[in-house]
Amino acid sequence: MPVRFQIVIDCREAAPLARFWLEALGYVLEPPPSGFDSWDDYYRNLGVGEEDLGIGPDSLVDPTGNGPRIWFHQVPEPKTVKNRLHFDIGAGGGRAVPLAQRKERVEVEAARLAALGAERLETDDDEGHGRYAVAMADPEGNEFDIA
């Protein structure tokens, strides 16, 4: 039986990174639990001190309920090494789509995410293997691919 899981991303600024990935993945901000106006109200109810509140929106959910929850865990230290895990955004449509059309779709998505604050790192244009992908970094430097 499969287990439910969430993806946790350590970051310096949870709210801006959550908003970037919300736009990148088509996710939505996770609403606070029933009976609470905000996540801060919920955490206050659990006894969390004011010094640990006020981070802002830090968790996303798939509006269809199919994808995992993503939580942006605010930490004091900056990112220092390459990710060991990353997102692959499937904007190209898969191998059934002609390579030229996939390239165009990937480039449109790369431009959209760059406008949201991502940085383009490199392009993998391997026509011999039918692959086209763009490596990017989110606003805090976390690597991801668009293929």
Pairing, β 87-89 against β 143-146: parallel
Taking the model in full, what pTM does it have?
Answer: 0.89
Q: Give the pLDDT score at 1.
A: 80
CA R_g for the chain: 18
- Assess contact for 68 and 7: CB atoms under 8 A: yes
Q: Give the pLDDT score at 3.
A: 84
- The contacts of residue 46 (CB under 8 Å, 6+ apart) are none
- Assess contact for 45 and 87: CB atoms under 8 A: no
- CATH code assigned to 87-146: 3.30.720
- pLDDT for 5 beyond 90: yes
Domain map of the chain by residue range? Answer: 6-74, 87-146
| pLDDT confidence tier of residue 128, bands split at 50, 70 and 90 | confident
- pLDDT for 66 beyond 90: yes
Summary mean pLDDT of the chain: 94
**Main-chain phi, psi angles of 146, to 5 degrees:** -120, 125
